[in-house]
Amino acid sequence: MLSSQHDWFSEWYQAEGVALSWTVESHLAHEITDYQTIDIYKTTHWGNLMVIDGCVMLTSRDNFLYHEMLTHPALFTHPNPEDVLIIGGGDCGTLKEVLAHPTVASCTQVEIDEQVTRLSEKFFPELCERNQDPRAHLLFEDGLAYIQGLSPGSVDIIIVDSTDPIGPAEGLFGPQFVQDCYRALSDGGILVQQSESPLLHLPLIEGIRQNMSQAGFSDMATLGFPQPSYPSGWWSATLAIKSGALSEPDPARFNAAGLTTRYYNPKVHVGALATQLGLIERGKDSS
């Protein structure tokens, strides 16, 4: 909500008794689409702020944490990622990071709400700088139906860059969707799903991992990372590999790729792999 008495935008997370607030200078955009309500604010310290249905999606200041950790662990684990699929990801930050990898021959982004992308092009142009890359294919349709229509074994990596599991994104957290992803992935293919806060949403993470295990994935890892603009300041991405094991990254390969990252590097990747096991075990102990 935006207070009329003070120039603040606040997101209230009633279930856990916490709220986050930003001081704002102006309300840049308000769009009601067939799927959701999108607002863009200009903040005093965090750049532009995107809000969907009252929930913060990203800020100019800290989105790199999320986008780098959603993409690079998977792409540096897969031996030769050529065909990548993004479900959601309408702000195009994930697409930008995927296309930084020289091995990627094609990246298809399937976003149900075109206005998310159009508003991002206007207010977050730094995230959309690779939208015209010839390897980029932007589709605006239902990701659930798109996955079902893929040929078996046709994709190397699937990244689910979705909103919270409500509204248009609810089906992306269900077991049937994960099974469809498993079928679409090639041998050794990797599924990545944004998996909310390890501090606030452990039951959801456990459900995601259960869906992946039941679908047939051979190994999983839930990687935590800081995300100041999301509830609790701690977020996660869960990876699952179709066959084999999720290996640690090769620093030489990272250096050879020539990527410019602000948070991700092989040491961060290894540290996230090391801490995720304790996270899951603590979750079991507290349940």
Residue 185 structure tokens: 């992935």
Residue 67 structure tokens: 């986008």
What is the layout of strands, in order, in the sheet containing 8-13? Answer: 8-13, 18-32, 37-43, 48-52, 55-59
Residue 114 structure tokens: 């075109």
φ, ψ at 275 (rounded to 5°): -85, -20
Residue 83 structure tokens: 């065909």
Q: What is the dihedral of CA 81, 83, 66, 161, to 10 degrees?
A: -140
Q: Are 19 and 103 in contact (CB under 8 A)?
A: no
Own/partner contacts of 23-29, CB < 8 Å, gap of 24 or more, are 24/49, 27/2, 28/123, 29/119, 29/122, 29/123
Does residue 161 carry a catalytic annotation? yes
Q: How far apart are CA 159 and CA 69, in angstroms?
A: 11
Q: Are 110 and 86 in contact (CB under 8 A)?
A: yes
Q: How far apart are CA 62 and CA 51, in angstroms?
A: 14
Q: Which of 78, 65, 277 is nearest to 191 (CA)?
A: 78
Q: Which of 226, 231, 271 is nearest to 248 (CA)?
A: 271
Residue from 83, 113, 156, 161 carrying the catalytic annotation: 161
Residues assigned a catalytic role = 161
